[in-house]
Chain A
């Protein structure tokens, strides 16, 4: 035994255990996110519990846990019906449960407001909708819902027109402001003309608004009557119902279809209920656009800096200082970048832009407040070192002989660079680009300071001139996690949404980094075997 200790084999096991702990922790993290994130969209059974005191409860069983004191189990039931009960969840002691059943006609409705509804259909007020060919009440409800859906495009169309008009009016208002600021008298004619057009646009807007209200009221009149498990009646307008599910009467493929449709909603729809439900589209869009704008700045700068370090700089004090600077750029806390971005980009440059180009709008800031451009620039600075390191590494892995060959054939250094080295280093540069994007997607702290918001009224890119609105605030997946998970009033109900967002973000980051690492390994392999 003593000999065994002396060789140090047990200590090898200790180091192995350390690695095992690290791996277990990582897998736990991924596992927790996966189980909590993936399960939420699955329409699980609605269970009716009969309790000892004679009451009943209907809901989806979320959790079962043991009370350490008594050793008894209790169930967490998602009873939904926030508007009736005041909360979505309920804890029920298992010993109080006298009977369980899965009523086939139990419905789970996803609503526009107040979260889900769990209960039973009791009646329909859908006179005037074509629901005759339906056989069962549920079929009728579904048909009525579909009929309303058909009318929806009309309303959406009006709303879209209204939005365009609104934007037009707003841009005219800003133009007017500018003209008035410059010189009232000189532009009197122009001002009068604009004011008149604006009035016209606003009048048009009001007409459309009236139309929208009527259309809304018209389809809002169709309702369905429901009962919750204890018989409480609830009248729900059909327009408020997003999706109708009867989870106890659904086959697995049907459930999978429902799942897919919810995933689609997640990716393509706007958030609802102060971000705790609905989709993530604006956040995904904001994240992607911010990252693209960021890459536009960080990639060229990073690549050139790496070329300088690897190809042009001689090994000396200067190079060492540049290296130290690169490492410090990578090591400075991200929040410091945020603070810098706020002081320099937002209040410094943005403030100056406002003073020079948009003085008429002051004190309402245009660029002098957080926005997507400033966020991108801040993150560009933060991710430059990633690009530099990856590019440098790939340049370093290109064998010397290739450079020398090119130079010997009479090419200038620059020609060697652009025609030989850079094409060969492309996988490495790609690695750097992807890694920097992955880093930017997950970075939240600086964005909180320089322009991310919980709910942006409009996307930073749309169809009105100049298409890219760099001054707009935007939404971001990472910030969404923080905001919904920690700032929303009903954290328990918001949790599933946070897990799904986390899953999405984690997925993006893991896929991106895996791709980057794959590129890098390929790049490394390509040259290690072929020494000249």
Chain B
């Protein structure tokens, strides 16, 4: 019985020890786990994009003889189509390469027999130029449904779009038609290699509801430097771009009927011919490919110094091709481009981030390229009549280390800048995700807060640990610890809704208090001297000086308030903020960096105070006693003996405070305007990494770019605080070993 009991308790002891050890080590696991989990979400940002070859089929025999004009592919890579010169749309199964169906284009214009050329206008809308000179539109759309058994079934539809009909006669090299909802249409024809004609058809409805159509036409008169090699018209029919054989890019404004205005004529390639030209999604940037493989993107920018309009400027240089760029195709989803050279090498690049996403090599030169409506299928037809189909997986084309941490030239900006703007109202908006303004905001807030908090906390800790009467100390220390427990949301709320409006009213008094309180202190020190050493009053007040100083601080604040009002009226004409703006040109935000300094400083003071006070108190008493016995004053002892010994501990206190300030969320969120600007002014707000996460993550879609970028900023915060805390802890451990307590 007894033996059993001993055995059982031994067994239990061993088991408990094992469990306890596992539990202890779990702390390390938890820390590592947090880092691993948030990194795992952030990392896919940097995965290289993937293209999977789905099919490689040759043209069905039925189509060998036809003249193909355009191709297209569906979302699921199951079906593709080709449009031929007879106006037939052939749907081909990508798995077997068999012809599924041939559908004639509905309602061809009377008398028209063959299609001269086809242009992809938007997602599934094609403009066809017929041999009679008439242009009509056709919609070739795929749709997919999920069947009961879980397979996707693709169906297609070819329908006419009467809106796109534009009469004309004659033979053209190429024609563009754009219909403007409710207003009419514009048509651009390239007659010969150096003649372009623009025709406007405007529809007007008069008071009685009668529609009146007027047509006007004019030809471009501007002298062309060389033959035109590429032409492109934007979707709104406002701007016409043309590239020439000697490498000039020209841009005309044709938005007003009857008026063609030349806006730009810029050398873009350095004499080699412009061989491919297309607009990036959103119609602001134009991508240019040349005969030597040069590949660049341009958009109009307000030229520095000149008051007049915007000029085309080369904003992005994309990875060059090895030979002549033969075609550029914009992605229908983002600012990516697919381009191909004369040897059949396909590049997929993102314009803004200048990332070369993918390079695909075919065996033969490519004749035609197509992307699906969502941009995740790519199809090419080579000159030998073989189709190649890829599935593209490019989850985050717009994010790269360059866009996160470097300056990026976004559309609509006059120069490369650091911008954080994750969402906007319009659809073709490009998210701008530079972490630099946020890191700047974080460091700015932290720096101001530390500037405010460190002197107060350290001096206060020195006083409490070295000079304060022991009985008071046992009251004050817990008070500061309770102060540390004040929730940051409370501090943030008071900073945002009480302090900010208050300081807004008494900015000057706030500044003056930094002068007046020290002056008051000097005066007090002067009078303090009059109290004789070892007099009853002195003995009574020794170690309690700060109690006398509390009213001094209050009186100082009140004086600063009074003086602030006087100075504002006398010196700044009654309104300091107005003066600031009109004389110095500085904008004053109500929730600015001063508020942050005070609020965030207030939050970290107790933390720094407590740790520093512990370190200072833990310096062995015999050191202090020896110093005092040798005749040093209490200040000399504290300054020359205690502080140097406790320095590692004090330093680690500051670092831990720093780490806390970097990661503090609610105070920064509530006490700043959360504007992600990079300005060093103390009168402006800011946005920190942590507040940014809190603001944006509810709106970020799961696994989207924004979501992952926010996780990345969490990783940054983690790593940053990890380093600070580890160093601080290492310092503290060394300090403890040195003095052997704890």
Q: Is A1's CB within 8 Å of the partner chain B? A: yes
- B-side interface residues toward A, CB under 8 Å? 9-10, 12-13, 16-17, 19-21, 23-28, 30-31, 33-34, 37-38, 40-41, 455-460, 462-464, 467-468, 474, 476, 478-483, 485-494, 496-498, 505, 517, 521, 524-525, 528-529, 545-546, 549-550, 552-554, 557, 565, 568-569, 574-575, 602, 605, 609, 633-636, 639, 656, 659-660, 662-666, 669-670, 690, 693-694, 697-698, 702, 710-711, 714, 717-718, 721-722, 724-726, 728-730, 733, 742
Within 8 A of B (CB), among A396-452: 396, 412-415, 417, 435, 438-439, 441-445, 448-449
CB pair B697–A334 under 8 Å, yes or no, is no
CB pair B492–A482 under 8 Å, yes or no, is yes
CB pair B489–A478 under 8 Å, yes or no, is yes
CB pair B20–A331 under 8 Å, yes or no, is no
Task: Report B455 CB to chain A, min CB distance, Å.
Answer: 7
Q: Can you offer 30 A-B residue contacts whose CB atoms are under 8 A?
A: A9-B525, A11-B639, A13-B525, A15-B463, A16-B463, A17-B546, A17-B553, A19-B464, A20-B549, A21-B460, A22-B609, A25-B602, A26-B479, A32-B498, A324-B730, A325-B31, A327-B728, A331-B721, A335-B690, A335-B717, A343-B711, A444-B488, A448-B694, A478-B666, A486-B670, A491-B497, A495-B497, A502-B493, A506-B486, A509-B487
In the complex, residue of chain A having the shortest beta-carbon distance to the beta carbon of B601: A25
Q: Give 20 new A-B contacts, CB below 8 A, not counting A308-B23, A331-B722.
A: A4-B529, A16-B467, A20-B546, A26-B479, A69-B575, A304-B20, A304-B24, A307-B24, A322-B28, A327-B729, A332-B721, A338-B697, A340-B38, A347-B702, A442-B487, A445-B666, A448-B694, A505-B487, A506-B486, A513-B482
CB pair B459–A18 under 8 Å, yes or no, is yes
In the complex, residue of chain A having the shortest beta-carbon distance to the beta carbon of B636: A8
Within 8 A of B (CB), among A1-42: 1, 4, 7-26, 29, 32-33, 36
Q: Beyond A325-B27, A340-B34, is A444–B666 a contact (Cβ under 8 Å)?
A: yes
Task: Report A392 CB to chain B, min CB distance, Å.
Answer: 10
Task: Report A19 CB to chain B, min CB distance, Å.
Answer: 4
- In angstroms, Cα B665 to Cα A330, docked, is 15
The interface residues of chain A lying within 8 Å CB-to-CB of B478 are 514, 517, 521
Q: Interface of chain A, helix or strand or loop or mixed?
A: helix
Interface residue from A69, A301, A333, A413 paired with B665 (Cβ < 8 Å): A333
CB pair B463–A322 under 8 Å, yes or no, is no
Q: Beyond A18-B459, A491-B497, is A29–B13 a contact (Cβ under 8 Å)?
A: no
CB pair A312–B726 under 8 Å, yes or no, is no
Q: Beyond A16-B549, A68-B565, is A309–B24 a contact (Cβ under 8 Å)?
A: yes
The interface residues of chain B lying within 8 Å CB-to-CB of A332 are 31, 34, 663, 717-718, 721-722, 725
Q: Is A257's CB within 8 Å of the partner chain B? A: no
Q: Is A367's CB within 8 Å of the partner chain B? A: no
- In angstroms, Cα B699 to Cα A32, docked, is 35
In the complex, residue of chain B having the shortest beta-carbon distance to the beta carbon of A337: B34
Q: Beyond A332-B663, A339-B697, is A442–B553 a contact (Cβ under 8 Å)?
A: no
Task: Report B20 CB to chain A, min CB distance, Å.
Answer: 5
- In angstroms, Cα B549 to Cα A342, docked, is 48
Q: Beyond A29-B602, A482-B489, A510-B482, is A7–B666 a contact (Cβ under 8 Å)?
A: no
Q: Beyond A15-B467, A22-B460, A339-B693, is A482–B670 a contact (Cβ under 8 Å)?
A: yes
In the complex, residue of chain B having the shortest beta-carbon distance to the beta carbon of A491: B497
Q: Is A326's CB within 8 Å of the partner chain B? A: yes
Task: Report A5 CB to chain B, min CB distance, Å.
Answer: 9
The range of chain A's interface size is: 35 or more
- In angstroms, Cα B20 to Cα A417, docked, is 11
Q: Interface of chain B, helix or strand or loop or mixed?
A: helix
Q: Is A260's CB within 8 Å of the partner chain B? A: no
Interface residue from B455, B489, B525, B694 paired with A442 (Cβ < 8 Å): B489
Task: Report A78 CB to chain B, min CB distance, Å.
Answer: 17
Q: Is A321's CB within 8 Å of the partner chain B? A: yes
Q: Beyond A335-B690, A514-B482, is A20–B635 a contact (Cβ under 8 Å)?
A: no
CB pair A20–B550 under 8 Å, yes or no, is yes
The interface residues of chain A lying within 8 Å CB-to-CB of B545 are 12-13, 16
CB pair B462–A15 under 8 Å, yes or no, is yes
- In angstroms, Cα B33 to Cα A17, docked, is 45
CB pair B20–A312 under 8 Å, yes or no, is yes
CB pair B485–A513 under 8 Å, yes or no, is yes
- In angstroms, Cα B10 to Cα A330, docked, is 35
The interface residues of chain B lying within 8 Å CB-to-CB of A322 are 24-25, 27-28
Give 6 nearest A-B pairs by CB, closest first. A333-B663, A442-B487, A8-B635, A308-B24, A18-B459, A15-B463
- In angstroms, Cα B479 to Cα A514, docked, is 9
- A-side interface residues toward B, CB under 8 Å? 1, 4, 7-26, 29, 32-33, 36, 68-69, 301, 304-305, 307-309, 311-313, 318, 320-340, 342-344, 347-348, 381, 384, 388, 396, 412-415, 417, 435, 438-439, 441-445, 448-449, 478-479, 481-482, 485-486, 491, 495, 498, 502, 505-506, 509-510, 512-514, 517, 521
CB pair B725–A327 under 8 Å, yes or no, is yes
The interface residues of chain A lying within 8 Å CB-to-CB of B480 are 22
- In angstroms, Cα B490 to Cα A33, docked, is 9
In the complex, residue of chain B having the shortest beta-carbon distance to the beta carbon of A511: B482
The interface residues of chain A lying within 8 Å CB-to-CB of B636 are 7-8
The interface residues of chain A lying within 8 Å CB-to-CB of B714 are 335-336, 339-340
Task: Report B127 CB to chain A, min CB distance, Å.
Answer: 39
In the complex, residue of chain A having the shortest beta-carbon distance to the beta carbon of B660: A331
- In angstroms, Cα B728 to Cα A343, docked, is 29
The interface residues of chain B lying within 8 Å CB-to-CB of A328 are 31, 721-722, 725-726, 729
The interface residues of chain B lying within 8 Å CB-to-CB of A307 are 20, 24
The interface residues of chain A lying within 8 Å CB-to-CB of B467 are 12, 15-16
Residue picked from A24, A326, A438, A445, most chain B C-beta under 10 Å: A445
Interface residue from A17, A69, A412 paired with B569 (Cβ < 8 Å): A69
The interface residues of chain B lying within 8 Å CB-to-CB of A320 are 733
Task: Report A427 CB to chain B, min CB distance, Å.
Answer: 15
CB pair B663–A510 under 8 Å, yes or no, is no
CB pair B27–A384 under 8 Å, yes or no, is yes
- In angstroms, Cα B711 to Cα A102, docked, is 60
- In angstroms, Cα B74 to Cα A425, docked, is 69
CB pair B37–A343 under 8 Å, yes or no, is yes
CB pair A326–B725 under 8 Å, yes or no, is no
The interface residues of chain A lying within 8 Å CB-to-CB of B694 are 335, 338, 445, 448-449
- In angstroms, Cα B492 to Cα A194, docked, is 52
The interface residues of chain B lying within 8 Å CB-to-CB of A308 are 20-21, 23-25
The interface residues of chain A lying within 8 Å CB-to-CB of B521 are 13-14, 17
The interface residues of chain A lying within 8 Å CB-to-CB of B459 are 14-15, 17-19
- In angstroms, Cα B367 to Cα A131, docked, is 94
The interface residues of chain A lying within 8 Å CB-to-CB of B41 are 343
- In angstroms, Cα B31 to Cα A337, docked, is 11
CB pair B487–A443 under 8 Å, yes or no, is yes
Residue picked from A17, A311, A347, A512, most chain B C-beta under 10 Å: A17
CB pair B489–A329 under 8 Å, yes or no, is no
In the complex, residue of chain A having the shortest beta-carbon distance to the beta carbon of B695: A448
In the complex, residue of chain B having the shortest beta-carbon distance to the beta carbon of A334: B665
The interface residues of chain A lying within 8 Å CB-to-CB of B493 are 481-482, 485-486, 498, 502
- In angstroms, Cα B491 to Cα A505, docked, is 12
CB pair B24–A412 under 8 Å, yes or no, is no
CB pair B524–A13 under 8 Å, yes or no, is yes
CB pair B546–A344 under 8 Å, yes or no, is no
In the complex, residue of chain A having the shortest beta-carbon distance to the beta carbon of B33: A344
The interface residues of chain A lying within 8 Å CB-to-CB of B670 are 482, 485-486
CB pair B9–A339 under 8 Å, yes or no, is no
